[in-house]
Amino acid sequence: MSEHTTHRKIALVTGANKGIGRAAAGQLAALGMTVLVGARDPRRGEEAAAALRAAGGDAHAVTLDVTDAATASTVAAQVEEQFGHLDVLVNNAGITGSGQVAPQDALDQVPSSVDLDMVRSVFETNVFGVIAVTNAMLPLLRRSPAPRIVNVSSHAGSLAIAADPDGPLAALPTSAAYTPSKVALNALTVQYANELRKDGFLVNAVAPGYVDTDSNDHNGYLTPAQGAAVVVRMATLGADGPTGGFVGEDGPVPW
């Protein structure tokens, strides 16, 4: 390989067959990256990857269930064999636990009556799944000259916003599953950022905003493309970019 050969940037996006993940995958592909479309359902993943290829992107579907560490190991082996490295990891896959976050559908998360099994299942995807996938991909990310990890969080994960009785989230039902899972994800992001800072990694959490997706029964006012913009911005930070941050479309979000 010539020293003038351009480094081929490889990005993996989990939960990329729809919503914010798919939009982020499309935007990363449009920037010239090879994008791996992670999806639990192979058919849906392939449909999304095919659509990205039809739009001119270099996209490949990978079967990845973040709650099944074996699938993360399999994908890591595939990336190792095909590309030898990974530059960007977007941990986007997430569940609400209620099916939707819309007020009428989230009453089952009220702390005093919540089902513990539901809380566990939400943390399994939104927190433990992020650890499993990140750790499976770390050896590949270490081979990148500019490794970036973006964890897709939510404004609901801001303790400062949630604690404000007159804040923007005050009208939402209380949540013992989804909201705490995003708080934990933010804390986890900071810990990875601290561990990996010396190795040149930039690790950040993002709050895409109230995006029109399945999770809120399409009540959001931002398009998936608008929500994905901050994801892509943090996935493509320069060497002087921040790490250990929590940012939204309008800048830093309070912890």
Mean pLDDT value across residues 171-196 = 95
- Sign of the CA dihedral running 250, 252, 254, 255: positive
| In-domain check, residue 218 | yes
| In-domain check, residue 251 | no
- pLDDT tier at 221 (50, 70, 90 boundaries)? low
Q: What is the pLDDT of residues 67-83, one digit of tens each?
A: 999 999 999 999 999 99
Residue with the larger pLDDT of the pair 3 and 139: 139
Q: Which CB contacts under 8 angstroms, 24+ apart, belong to 59-65?
A: 59/25, 59/29, 59/34, 59/35, 60/34, 60/35, 60/36, 61/36, 61/37, 62/12, 62/36, 62/37, 62/38, 63/39, 64/14, 64/38, 64/39, 64/40, 64/93, 64/133, 65/40
Q: What is the pLDDT of residues 30-53, one digit of tens each?
A: 999 999 999 999 999 999 999 999
Look at residue 106 in the predicted model and tell me its pLDDT: 56
Mean pLDDT value across residues 92-106 = 68
| In-domain check, residue 1 | no
Look at residue 102 in the predicted model and tell me its pLDDT: 44
| In-domain check, residue 4 | no
Catalytic: 9? no
Average pLDDT of the chain is 92
87/146 Cα distance (integer angstroms):
6
Domain count, the chain: 1
Look at residue 108 and tell me whether its pLDDT is greater than 90.
no
Active-site choice (178, 192, 198, 221): 178
Look at residue 213 in the predicted model and tell me its pLDDT: 60
Look at residue 101 and tell me whether its pLDDT is greater than 50.
no
Least confident of 121-130, 139-148, 152-161, 221-230: 221-230
| % of residues, the chain, pLDDT over 90 | 82
Active-site choice (182, 192, 198, 221): 182
**190: three-class secondary structure by DSSP:** helix
| In-domain check, residue 189 | yes
Look at residue 2 in the predicted model and tell me its pLDDT: 42
CATH, residue 76 = 3.40.50.720
| In-domain check, residue 66 | yes
Q: What is the pLDDT of residues 137-161, one digit of tens each?
A: 999 999 999 999 999 999 999 999 9
| In-domain check, residue 55 | yes
Structural tokens at position 122: 């939400």
| In-domain check, residue 254 | no
Domain that holds residue 17: 10-246
pTM for the predicted model, two decimal places: 0.93
Catalytic: 198? no
